[in-house]
Amino acid sequence: MSVELISANHAAALGATLAGRANRTARGFCSGVYPITPTTECMEYLCGQEIEKGKVVRVDSEHSAMGVCIGASSAGARSFTATSSNGLAYMLENCVAAASYRLPIVMAVSNRTLGPPWNIWADHGDSLLLRDLGWLQFYCADNQEVFDTVLCAFKLAEDPRVLMPAISCMDGFILSHTMAQVEIPGQKLVDRFLPTTKVPHRLNKSAHTLGQLEIPQQAVAHRTQHHQAMLAAVQVYAEIQDSFEEIFGRRVADPVVAYHADDADTLIVSMGTIGTTAERVVDQLREQGQRVGSIRVRMFRPMPENDLRKYFAGTKRIAVLDRNISLGYGGVLWGEIRGFSDPDAIVQGYMVGVAGGDVRREHIINLLTDLQQCKTESAPKIVEVA
Amino acid sequence: MNQKKSKPLQNKASVNAQLPGDISLPLEIRLHGRGGQGGVTCAKLIAAVYAEMGLHVQTFGDYGAERSGAPVRAFTRVNKIVIKNRNKVYRPHHLLVLDTALLGTRILDGIAPGAVILLNSSGRLEEFSEKFADYRLGIIDATGIAREHGIGTSSVVIINTTIVGAYAKLLGLSIEVLKDAYTRLGLSEDMAAAREAYLNVLIQQPDTAVTGTAVGGELVTAFPQVKQQIDHSDDVPTKLQTGDWSTQLAGFKDHLAPCNYSCPAGNDVVGFIQALKTYGSDRAMEILLQTQPLPSVCGRVCPAPCMHECNRKLMDGAVNIRGLERWISDHSELVLKRKKAGKTHSFAVIGGGPAGLSAAYQLALHGHHVTIFEKEKKLGGVLRYGIPSFRLPEEVLERDIIRILSLGIRSTCAHPIDKVEMERLYEEHDGVIICKGFSDTNTLSVAGEDLDGIEQGLTFLSRRRTDKKATELSGDVVVIGGGNTAIDCARSALRSGASSVKLIYRRSRAEMTAIEEEIEDALREGVQLLPLRQPVAFRGVGRIAGIVLAEVELGEADIDGRRRPLVTKQMTELNCSKVLLALGQENKLEMLPDHWQISDARGWLEEKTLNVWCAGDCSTADGTVSHAIGSGRLTALNALANVDGTEPLVDEISENSVVAPAHIRFSHFPVLAPHQDRHKTVDNYQNNFDEVNLGLSGKEEAERCFSCGRCTRCDTCLVFCPEGVIYRTAGGYRVDENYCKGCGVCVAECPRRAMELNDKESREE
């Protein structure tokens, strides 16, 4: 175990490197990569690593990058890629395939606003494009979490009860380019945590087809299996947390990170780095005697519904902060979780920090003031971040 | 619920051991610099230093600016516990400014009195002490130190590792802490610079007596209230004037092409080639004739320094400029109209060679009366009597001379000028310009030089033009020299019946001053070159029979860059029946009346200036037609200004404005080999004095001109502008200042350096 001062992009790449090396006694590691701001550092770092029985393929596009990952994973290799924004959009068609092939590919996404108009800053709209495709999704809040989540994502994705791709998200620049200390375990510990990759349906000596034509009944059966595996991932993740703690001596963050939530009458719900700002607001308002708490949704797919229902029980006012906008509806997170609260609770949606605004404590305090004044729930509001 | 524990990091010294008392945690640091200075890495380095002390750190850049030189911010936070704050730093405790030109923008926002400010400046403490009295101020010339230590490149000095040394001293941190951090980051090599900054930083403690004058002051930020979604539709900042972000603005500016810069005649080379390309030969001729009265001549015999300097030379071969000049002169009948002078003056020009013709031409063009006095029977000087007709046919020379004379210039030929005549001309005219050219030819001063059959090359060439019979040769001919006259003599001798022609030159072929193409022509025609040989004696009884040659080695380079010949004792003998000497000429002004003197090309009588000027070889001794033309023109214009009592012509050119190969985007131009002059193939040169070089077959060569430094409206800037804020106008293009972010992409992409980036700071102040 060593402590390194590295950026979150590099932390993700380092996680993938250690995971890749851990598969050296099996089918190795293979990754297709293509650069895009703000993920470029991640793929650059990966390209610079020596991985025994590993290959990082620099391709012509994100679509091809995922193509390489699909090929590698269906041949039984451990596979990883990283992208952002429109790169992810371009990759999307192969992302659908990767999920439906049930391939345990892991991807790091530095969240960035989808263009045009061009904007390189943080917005969750890009990774949310994958919401309904059958990818596991995590949103991280600090460098350590990015590193840990990549390792856990491999273990979760490759679990025979789950077996599907996973993404680990970090807010572009705010996290991707921030350097901080990260505890890095040695290879031996990672080997213990991550057994070799086993893709049971991998292409082998006997010929078979992946993703062939299906009649409606077959398709429904496969979708159902995928859905059930996704739901099962919540419990599998809990087991992984235990295993992680046993091997690395510290516990990886929960699917839902709660902060002073148990006795709160008002909750701030968010994803990504806004969650840590919310926690600082909680500290500030708690000092003033207000019973405020924060809920950070770290695991977005599968949605940890039970955890959220538990924290929402008895809470009267909930502000849901979305760094995204589902046009014609409102924030995606708000739309997903508003049904989990008590029937008489006000669950107000706020879209804040959309397209990269620097969300500060004052912004959140302003929207909490607005929430206290709400008599009923109203249409989601956009919070201007100057 | 699982809170992340903020336990101390492992293997670290205890926090307080190394932390000076006046650093309190949590600590926030903001850094301002310019892209390329290493600002983000500097913030990282500072973070690494605190991390070495076992503290939690966080560091990040503020990204968005897309180019080196653009203002950049970077942040570092330090605390004893895990840092949750993910916002930018709005109220820094420490502020580092890597470029003081940035001061004055909003970089002091949020700085409270007592804060630490470190400036990278070569200035003195006093320059800043009043403005920053409320702060603990440090000044360090990090750029100077880093440059001395060779960190970065000479143009882009990277100062991050240096300035951190000053930062440590300002904070009272130990240099040992830096050492560990630098070693860990692999920057040990830069420790010497950091140490120098540590020792040399100038520090001023905050003046506690001063209050309320903090330049940074309180940061006032209004946080907008939460509104309904629908309310925002009106709030969209439709006019986000991105031009406000920039410190620089792109603009269009002509730069000097190397061909124009190097043309001794002062021709607008780019101008006439582009005019030929776009409009045809008459428009090109119109530009050419402004400075060049003899385009048909120079299009054939100019050594073309423009082609040596042509930026295209480094890509696929220089543009055949001489060929294009010839093509224009052979395809245009255009004559410029004589301008009307405010007050008409009369001038006498002595000498009808290229300098005299050029001076007379400019004077006549400006509407003045000119008479040329020529000692030979016809005008032309060296052009007529010194250059053989296979290079410059008589009718071609006539064509240029007729055009010149058509401006109303009178000429008096066969009229040598002596001292008496000189004084008469001076009395009768408002000004006299002497363009008599070279006079005496150089000799070798070796034994036997007076033997029959040894002749000055220029005399031979002159006789050849006037009396072909008398110059018929036979047997083995030797020409001595390495310039154009030597080549002309050799080729003429070949055509005059010589059974062999050998060219003796004391240096190597690379040092020969003759036009390269002419040397090649001579060799092709059968002239033998014997370089590195020096004649030491002529042998024969009454008549030349042979030459004794010493072999030569090349020594150190002379002042002119050519290697000095060193004569050895190794001798050989060469039989010959005729020797032509082409060893250059001297210039003397034997026609000057007593007491007249020439200084700086101007006539003086004791302390008084005379309206007498010298131009061409008799003044400058440059020895080429184009130099003579340039000298004639400038002298004429200068004389006019003098006579009119106006400001003399000033021709100041900055080397910096000349377009260098590095300015050219070669990738914008397709590779295209130069169009070569066509040559007539002749089986036997005997008595054949027809022009050999037939020139270009068309004007396509003009397409190859890069148009260095001059906009061709190629639209590259408009196409590459990421903001789409360059617009076509009647005269060229316009950059919208309100939206130009100063990214410099257009300037970088301009294939020909017709643009530049200008600082906006001076305009704002």
Tell me what percent of the residues of chain A surpass a pLDDT of 90: 95
Q: Are residues A231 and A268 in the same domain?
A: no
pLDDT exceeds cutoff 50 at B763: no
What is the CATH classification number for the domain harbouring B760?
Answer: 3.30.70.20
- Among A11-20, A351-360, B18-27, B84-93, the minimum mean pLDDT is found in B18-27
The half-sphere exposure of B41 on its side-chain side, counting CA atoms within 13 A, is 15
Q: Are residues B410 and B522 in the same domain?
A: no
Q: Are residues A160 and A300 in the same domain?
A: no
CA B691 to mean position of chain CA atoms = 35
pLDDT confidence of residue A356: 92
Last residue of a domain, one of A202, A232, A248: A248
Q: Are residues B601 and B678 in the same domain?
A: no
Q: Are residues A181 and A150 in the same domain?
A: yes
Q: Are residues B266 and B135 in the same domain?
A: no
Q: How confident is the model at residue B15 (pLDDT cuts 50, 70, 90)?
A: very low
Alpha-helical runs (H) found in B228-371: 258-262, 269-278, 281-291, 295-301, 305-309, 321-330, 354-365
Q: Are residues B181 and B319 in the same domain?
A: no
B465 lies in some domain: no
B212 lies in some domain: no
Q: Are residues A212 and A274 in the same domain?
A: no
Q: Residue A66 sits in which domain range?
A: 2-248
- For B285-338, write each residue's pLDDT tens digit: 999 999 999 999 999 999 999 999 999 999 999 999 999 999 999 999 999 999
Q: Are residues A228 and A347 in the same domain?
A: no
pLDDT confidence of residue A5: 94
Cα dihedral B325, B329, B335, B338 sign: positive
Q: Are residues A267 and A191 in the same domain?
A: no
pLDDT confidence of residue B202: 94
Whether the CB-CB separation of A297 and A270 falls below 8 Å is answered with yes
Alpha-carbon gap: A225 to the closest alpha carbon of chain B (Å): 31
Coil, strand or helix: which one is A323? coil
pLDDT confidence of residue B222: 74
Give how many domains chain B has, as a whole number.
Answer: 5
Coil, strand or helix: which one is B262? helix
pLDDT confidence of residue B193: 95
Collect all residues of chain A within an 8 Å Cβ-Cβ radius of residue B59. 178-180
- Among A195-199, B70-74, B91-95, B747-751, the minimum mean pLDDT is found in B70-74
Across chain B, what does the average pLDDT equal?
87
Q: Of A192, A194, A191, A170, which is closest to residue A182 (Cα–Cα)? A: A170
pLDDT exceeds cutoff 70 at B234: no
Tell me what percent of the residues of chain A surpass a pLDDT of 70: 100
pLDDT confidence of residue B468: 73
Given an 8 Å threshold on Cβ–Cβ distance, is B61 in contact with A3? no
pLDDT exceeds cutoff 60 at A25: yes
pLDDT confidence of residue B240: 67
Length of chain A in terms of residues written: 386
Phi, psi at residue B305, to the nearest 5°? -60, -25
Q: Are residues A141 and A76 in the same domain?
A: yes
Last residue of a domain, one of B172, B187, B204: B204
pLDDT exceeds cutoff 90 at B716: yes
Burial class (CB in 10 A: 0-12, 13-18, 19+), A27: buried
Q: How far from B625 is each of A302, B269, B321, B372, B386, CA to CA, in Å?
A: 87, 16, 16, 18, 11
Q: Are residues B700 and B714 in the same domain?
A: no
Over residues B591-607, mean pLDDT: 86
Which value does ipTM take for this structure?
Answer: 0.92
Q: How confident is the model at residue A198 (pLDDT cuts 50, 70, 90)?
A: very high
- In the chain, the amino acid numbered B445 is S
d(CA B624, CA A382): 78
Last residue of a domain, one of B204, B237, B266: B204
pLDDT confidence of residue B439: 74
pLDDT exceeds cutoff 80 at A386: no
Q: Are residues A63 and A207 in the same domain?
A: yes
Collect all residues of chain B within an 8 Å Cβ-Cβ radius of residue A175. 86
- For B631-689, write each residue's pLDDT tens digit: 999 999 999 999 988 877 666 677 778 999 999 999 999 999 999 999 887 777 777 88
Collect all residues of chain B within an 8 Å Cβ-Cβ radius of residue A5. 44, 47-48, 51, 57
- For B107-131, write each residue's pLDDT tens digit: 788 888 889 999 999 989 998 888 8
Q: How confident is the model at residue A116 (pLDDT cuts 50, 70, 90)?
A: very high
Last residue of a domain, one of A248, A265, A288: A248
B195 lies in some domain: yes
B63 touches chain A (CB under 8 A): yes
Coil, strand or helix: which one is A205? coil
Q: How confident is the model at residue B66 (pLDDT cuts 50, 70, 90)?
A: low
Q: Are residues B383 and B476 in the same domain?
A: no
pLDDT exceeds cutoff 60 at B170: yes
Length of chain B in terms of residues written: 765
Q: Are residues B670 and B637 in the same domain?
A: no
Nearest Cβ partner for B59 among A178, A370, A386: A178
pLDDT confidence of residue B14: 44
Last residue of a domain, one of A214, A248, A282: A248
Collect all residues of chain B within an 8 Å Cβ-Cβ radius of residue A359. 87
What is the CATH classification number for the domain harbouring B432?
Answer: 3.50.50.60
Coil, strand or helix: which one is A286? helix
Q: Are residues B149 and B264 in the same domain?
A: no
B738 lies in some domain: yes
B524 lies in some domain: yes
pTM: 0.66
Give how many domains chain A has, as a whole number.
Answer: 2
Q: Are residues B32 and B90 in the same domain?
A: yes
Q: Of A83, A81, A102, which is closest to residue A158 (Cα–Cα)? A: A102
Q: Are residues A58 and A136 in the same domain?
A: yes
Given an 8 Å threshold on Cβ–Cβ distance, is A366 in contact with B224? yes
Position with higher pLDDT, B440 vs B140: B140
Over residues B362-391, mean pLDDT: 93
Q: Are residues A204 and A242 in the same domain?
A: yes
Q: Residue B56 sits in which domain range?
A: 15-204
What is the CATH classification number for the domain harbouring B304?
Answer: 1.10.1060.10
Whether the CB-CB separation of B575 and B451 falls below 8 Å is answered with no
pLDDT confidence of residue B8: 42
Residues 346-365 of A with CB under 8 A from B: 350, 358-363
Q: Are residues A296 and A230 in the same domain?
A: no
d(CA B349, CA B640): 13
DSSP B720: H
Over residues A330-342, mean pLDDT: 96
Whether the CB-CB separation of B459 and B582 falls below 8 Å is answered with no
- For B441-499, write each residue's pLDDT tens digit: 888 888 888 899 999 998 888 888 777 777 788 889 999 999 999 999 999 998 888 99
Q: Are residues A220 and A111 in the same domain?
A: yes
pLDDT confidence of residue B88: 92
CA B443 to mean position of chain CA atoms = 38
- For B536-568, write each residue's pLDDT tens digit: 999 999 899 999 999 998 888 877 777 888 888
Which of A4, A36, A179 to mutate to probe the B interface, most B CBs <10 Å? A179
Alpha-carbon gap: B68 to the closest alpha carbon of chain A (Å): 17
A181 touches chain B (CB under 8 A): yes
- For A291-329, write each residue's pLDDT tens digit: 999 999 999 999 999 999 999 999 999 999 999 999 999
Q: Are residues B758 and B733 in the same domain?
A: yes
Nearest Cβ partner for B9 among A181, A254, A258: A181
B8 lies in some domain: no
Q: How confident is the model at residue B105 (pLDDT cuts 50, 70, 90)?
A: low
- For B657-669, write each residue's pLDDT tens digit: 899 999 999 999 9
What is the CATH classification number for the domain harbouring A150?
Answer: 3.40.50.970
Q: Are residues B502 and B552 in the same domain?
A: yes
Over residues B378-386, mean pLDDT: 91
- For A240-292, write each residue's pLDDT tens digit: 999 999 999 999 999 999 999 999 999 999 999 999 999 999 999 999 999 99
Nearest Cβ partner for A173 among B4, B58, B63: B63
Collect all residues of chain B within an 8 Å Cβ-Cβ radius of residue A369. 226
Q: Of A340, A305, A320, A323, which is closest to residue A380 (Cα–Cα)? A: A320
* In the block, residue with structure tokens 């440090």: B138
d(CA A114, CA A124): 9
pLDDT confidence of residue B762: 47
Element counts in chain A: helices (H) and strands (E): 11, 15
Position with higher pLDDT, B70 vs A355: A355
Q: Are residues B372 and B424 in the same domain?
A: yes
Cα dihedral A71, A72, A73, A79 sign: negative
Coil, strand or helix: which one is B434? strand
Which of B11, B56, B66, B226 to mutate to probe the A interface, most A CBs <10 Å? B226
pLDDT confidence of residue B650: 64
d(CA B132, CA B439): 73
pLDDT confidence of residue B6: 41
B213 lies in some domain: no
Phi, psi at residue B747, to the nearest 5°? -70, -40
What is the CATH classification number for the domain harbouring B61?
Answer: 3.40.920.10
B237 lies in some domain: no
Cα dihedral B704, B709, B714, B716 sign: positive
Residues 244-283 of A with CB under 8 A from B: 250-251, 253-254, 257-259, 261-262, 273, 276-277, 279-280
Alpha-carbon gap: B84 to the closest alpha carbon of chain A (Å): 6
Q: How confident is the model at residue B761 (pLDDT cuts 50, 70, 90)?
A: low
d(CA A162, CA A302): 11
